[in-house]
Amino acid sequence: GEMERRRLHNTIQELKASYNGNIRVFCRVRPLVDGGLSKHIQLPTNDIKTITLAKTEESHTGKTADTQKNYNFSFDRVFGPAASQQEVFEEISLLVQSALDGYNVCCFAYGQTGSGKTYTMEGDEFDVTRGVIPRAVQQIFRAAEKLATQGWEFTFTASFVEIYNETLRDLLYTGKASKRPEHEIRKSANNEVTITNLTYEKVSNEDQVLGLIALANQNRSTAQTAQNDRSSRSHSVFQLDIEGVNAGRDVKCKSTLCLVDLAGSERMLKSQSQGERFKEMTAINGSLSNLGIVISALANKESYVPYRNSKLTYLLQGCLGGNSKTLMFVNIAPESDSFGETLNSLRFASKVNDCVIGTASANRK
């Protein structure tokens, strides 16, 4: 029927736009703080899919010339430092749209602290620099209004959680700090994931969601003052559950839009990571690498997908896999002292892109 037709139309559009099935990887380079040009990052003007990191090895003897080593990567799309939030969103709006057609959609921002993940996902307070979350929400509500004229009725439910050291925290909690409940991830018989004691807020317009984002930020900064720089060491997961009914045509659809600002991917020096820091580092490295393993297991259609190896993938189990569409941003910082981290991030992302991260069976316990 109508749903099938719309689905088919979107699928064809996306096949045209992408060669990489249900997983896409976009790279985004943050501008230098002083606005100058990065020396080691090269973005060809005639190719919007490649990025090169150039490393110059100085000759110490003076007898030989300096050598240059190039690391080339290609992704579904590479955004340079001049790309606006609007330009970036245009490339993913089709993906967001498919959440209303019954597809689960997951979008992640991966990269070291300071590389632009939060800017990409949330943006800042100005209208033109709004990020993916507010733009996606705006698009969804506008599209739902249009579909309402064709008999569709939608229900939207928002939730916002933080995962810190493999522990969940409700970012929409408004009660007393001393009464903050603990949370567990539960999977129902029909494979739906819910979190116990979590705030699930019914929303029906953009402003309500913006209010929830503000509340989440407030909740995050309270935890932040108690623990310096905590937000860079936790994942934050915004979910919008969408249910649509068209009584006249007797059709229903159900999906989740999931937008994730991941913990900083930087490796800490062993000497810096003792006690609490060591626990954090282990939790972050574990969940980020497991995310890569899960995505590649899904892409390779492996029979076993190790969702349960981390809270992040367990929580996202319902919206990764199956008919879902996944997009990963790899955010990179242009400063030359970030060269090593940038190379690590691009390597991780290109493995996700090629779906060759380990194998699910190798990780089986």
Residues that bind ligand ADP (CB under 6 A): 30-31, 111, 113-119, 124, 232, 331
The partner in contact with residue 115, picked from Mg ion, ligand ADP, none with C-beta cut-offs of 5 to 8 angstroms by kind, is ligand ADP
Rounded distance between C-alpha atoms, residue 346 and residue 72, angstroms: 9
Q: Which is nearer to ligand ADP, 79 or 156 (CB)?
A: 79
Tell which positions 157-196 bind Mg ion, by CB under 5 A: none
In DSSP terms, 51 is beta-bridged to: 73
With contact defined as beta carbons under 8 Å apart, do 99 and 323 qualify?
Answer: no
In DSSP terms, 157 is beta-bridged to: 202, 241
CB < 8 Å & 24+ apart, contacts of 207-216: 208/158, 209/134, 209/137, 209/158, 209/240, 210/134, 210/137, 212/158, 212/160, 212/172, 213/122, 213/133, 213/134, 213/160, 213/238, 215/160, 215/171, 215/172, 215/174, 216/160, 216/171, 216/172
Q: How far is the CB of 254 from ligand ADP (least distance, A)?
A: 31
Q: How far is the CB of 236 from Mg ion (least distance, A)?
A: 8
Residues 6+ apart with CB under 8 A from 111: 117, 262, 264, 265, 329, 330, 331, 332, 333, 345
Question: Nearest to residue 140, comparing CAs of 256, 26, 250, 262?
Answer: 256
Tell which positions 89-128 bind Mg ion, by CB under 5 A: 117-118
Q: Which residue has the tokens 């994942």?
A: 235
Token duo for residue 27: 């790279």
Q: How far is the CB of 78 from ligand ADP (least distance, A)?
A: 13
Residue nearest to ligand ADP (CB): 116
The partner in contact with residue 111, picked from Mg ion, ligand ADP, none with C-beta cut-offs of 5 to 8 angstroms by kind, is ligand ADP
Residue nearest to Mg ion (CB): 118
Q: Which is nearer to ligand ADP, 188 or 225 (CB)?
A: 225
Q: Which is nearer to ligand ADP, 319 or 330 (CB)?
A: 330
Q: Which is nearer to Mg ion, 40 or 233 (CB)?
A: 233
Q: How far is the CB of 233 from ligand ADP (least distance, A)?
A: 10
DSSP 61-122: SSSS--EEEEEEEE-SEEE-TT--HHHHHHHHHHHHHGGGGT--EEEEEE-STTSSHHHHHT
Q: How far is the CB of 216 from Mg ion (least distance, A)?
A: 13
The partner in contact with residue 30, picked from Mg ion, ligand ADP, none with C-beta cut-offs of 5 to 8 angstroms by kind, is ligand ADP
**CA-to-CA separations, 148 to 209, 243, 248, in angstroms, rounded:** 20, 13, 12
Q: How far is the CB of 117 from Mg ion (least distance, A)?
A: 5
Q: How far is the CB of 148 from ligand ADP (least distance, A)?
A: 35
The partner in contact with residue 31, picked from ligand ADP, Mg ion, none with C-beta cut-offs of 5 to 8 angstroms by kind, is ligand ADP
Taking the CA atoms of 298, 300, 305 and 310 in sequence, report the sign of the dihedral they define: negative
Number of residues that bind Mg ion (CB under 5 A): 2
Q: Which is nearer to Mg ion, 262 or 293 (CB)?
A: 262
Q: Which is nearer to ligand ADP, 150 or 227 (CB)?
A: 227
Q: Which is nearer to ligand ADP, 103 or 119 (CB)?
A: 119
Residue 256: phi, psi to the nearest 5? Answer: -130, 135
Tell whether residue 331 is a contact of Mg ion (CB under 5 A). no
Q: How far is the CB of 105 from ligand ADP (least distance, A)?
A: 21
Q: Which is nearer to ligand ADP, 190 or 272 (CB)?
A: 272
Binding residues (CB under 5 A) for Mg ion: these are 117-118
